[in-house]
A and B are shown apart, each in its own frame.
Chain A
Amino acid sequence: MALRKILGMETEFGILHRRAGESNPIAASSVLINAYINSLDKSGTASPLPRVGWDFVDETPANDARGLSLLAAMAPEVETHLVNAVLTNGARYYVDHAHPELSTPECADPLSIVLYDRAAELILVESMRQATLNLPEGEEIVVYKNNSDRKGNSYGTHENYLMDRTTPFSRVVSQVMPHFISRQLYIGAGKVGSEAIGMSSEQVPFQLTQRADFFEEEVGLETTLKRPIVNTRDEPHADAKKYRRLHVIVGDANLSQVATFLKVGTTAIVLCMVEDEYLSRTFVLANPVQAIRQVSYDLSLRRPLELDGGGTITALEMQWEYYDRARKYAEDRGLECIDQTVGEEVLRRWEHVLTALESDPMQLADQLDWVAKYRVINGYRERHDLRWNDARLAAMDLQYHDMRPTKSLFSRLGVETLVDDEDARVAMSEPPPDTRAYFRGKCLQKWADDIVAANWDSMVFDVGDDPLRRVPMMEPTRGTAAHVGSLLEQCETSAELLRRLGS
């Protein structure tokens, strides 16, 4: 049986310090995140002080039946020179390279990812507001949820999927690669022009994705150079004997919630089918790196891609085959691996989107990023009779991703939402109830002063006289409200919690 797909999303945001002369992105990112954290300190209401640093220490896996056990811990090394905070919703918010990055808490289904991705956006919006309050008059820190500066520099939006360690990685690679290439049809955030060397705006006036220009290898460990379509980073952040975390770097940052839902939902189902050996046929493309660009550059969505050993297939045909197989998988095995109800909604929307892409993609202007972006930019282009390489269209492309509510183009396009902003506001400080993020978030809400460090798979407590105590959390599906909710409520102090966990 396929494992429950515990999911996560990491987003690096573009950042500008406007009207500040030379802008230093690392400093601006620190100012941005610190402003948010400080505002939580001051408010002193909903979210207590998430002043807890991130813990980079590796540890040996240690489990008990609840997945929570105690080790007398070694002193953690805490990274202090760059901001690196853990929030009470279980997320990590930090400076990565020269970008603010937010990693969602672990989520147990694709709709929960949409909720926490929206919460992440709201956290960034609030961070901008707070940061700008502290800046000299006229200056402003602005973040963009996109993946490129249009000059050849790219930053990532990564997805994470918990997988069964026993599934051979070679099978994962061969069976998921065609999905990564063909899912671009609905996950793309759209881009005016191309950043690939030698591509003119006549050749590529507009393409489906932000990221296709930047992939140069099929499989590999890199994320910053020679980016591979399938990334091999093997860092489970969980019991490494049982689990693998598939770290997916080949997606775009989506503003459309439907696109995020489909991106994570379809990929999670495909990975369940890989684990259950349910994909009877795998397409082997003759040249995946070439194919990923061919799909992204082809607005007709009809371009045939060469198969290894002869013949061709289109991205839509590949997607229909994955969909058909997923529909049958759902009938045979159910979709508990991503939640039955949510899984059925993924299938329904998947079919709807493929049908519309096949007949008239413009029907999806209220659902998919690339279509919404294309419609407004092309409409502007036609009205003003502009060429595709006009700077006004490039500016609109960037402004589509502007996170300021007053400037965001995306928010003016009437794109369908799947979660309420009110719920997302709650999710800015409340963890999901159904993964170990619950334990992390609730402990931070209650005992932030006693927690010296945290990371995905452990937390370190300082309860006074005793040595620091590390609580390993090697099971991502444990530490949920169902497992530890009443325990956390009953404990008055963190010392009591540690005592009861240890007994």
Chain B
Amino acid sequence: MAERTQKQRPAPQRTEEAPIETPSKSETGEKLKAELDDLLDEIDDVLETNAEDFVKSYIQKGGE
């Protein structure tokens, strides 16, 4: 088990794909950023209004 080097398996895949992926990756990156922006707009309405008080009042006893 010690000799099995995991680096061999995923690494070649990545090096081969890397050049092809680069342009699409930045496109995907743009898309992801836009999605995140939309998400942040959306959650603004549901976020706890008084964060500091809420965090302070969230007190639990230990369990288990």
Contacts and interface: CB of A to CB of B under 8 A. Distances in A.
Contacts of A317: 6
Contacts of B63: 12, 96-99, 101, 154-156, 224
A407 interface: yes
B49 to A, nearest CB: 9
Contacts of A158: 64
Contact of A281 (B2, B47, B60): B2
B10 interface: yes
A395 B39 contact: no
Contacts of A14: 58, 60
B10 to A, nearest CB: 5
Interface in B38-64: 39-40, 42-43, 46-48, 51-52, 54-55, 57-64
Contacts of B59: 149, 151, 153
Nearest to B13: A355
16 contacts: A96-B64, A97-B63, A99-B61, A149-B60, A151-B59, A155-B60, A155-B63, A156-B63, A224-B62, A281-B2, A320-B6, A321-B1, A323-B6, A359-B14, A394-B51, A398-B48
Interface in B1-49: 1-2, 4, 6, 9-10, 13-14, 32, 36-37, 39-40, 42-43, 46-48
Nearest to B28: A363
Q: Counting chain B CB atoms within 10 Å of each CB, which of A151, A325, A362 scores highest? A: A151
Contacts of B13: 355
B54 A395 contact: yes
Given A281-B1, A320-B6, A412-B39, A395 B60 contact: no
Interface residues of A, number: 56
Contacts of A323: 6
A151 B57 CA distance: 11
Interface string A304-344: 00000000000001001101110000000000000000000
A395 B46 CA distance: 12
Contacts of B54: 395, 398
Given A155-B61, A380-B43, 14 more contacts: A97-B64, A150-B58, A153-B59, A153-B62, A156-B64, A158-B64, A223-B64, A324-B4, A355-B13, A358-B10, A383-B40, A395-B47, A395-B54, A412-B46
Contact of A376 (B6, B39, B48): B39
B41 to A, nearest CB: 10
Interface of A: 12, 14-16, 25, 96-99, 101, 144, 148-151, 153-156, 158, 223-224, 227, 249, 279-281, 317, 320-321, 323-325, 354-355, 358-359, 362, 375-376, 379-380, 383, 390-392, 394-396, 398-399, 406-407, 409, 412-413
Given A155-B63, A321-B1, A398 B55 contact: yes
Q: Is the interface of A mostly helix, strand, loop or mixed?
A: mixed
Contacts of A12: 63-64
A395 B48 contact: yes
Q: Which 10 A-B pairs have the closest CB atoms?
A: A155-B63, A320-B6, A395-B51, A98-B61, A149-B60, A223-B64, A156-B64, A391-B52, A281-B1, A392-B51
Contact of A413 (B39, B57, B58): B39
A249 B37 CA distance: 37
A383 B9 CA distance: 38
A321 B4 contact: yes
Contacts of A25: 60-61
A380 B1 CA distance: 43
Given A16-B58, A97-B62, A379 B2 contact: no
Contacts of B42: 412
B13 to A, nearest CB: 8
Contacts of A362: 32
A16 B47 contact: no
A395 B57 CA distance: 11
Q: Counting chain B CB atoms within 10 Å of each CB, which of A153, A383, A395 scores highest? A: A395
Contacts of B64: 12, 96-97, 154-156, 158, 223-224, 227, 249
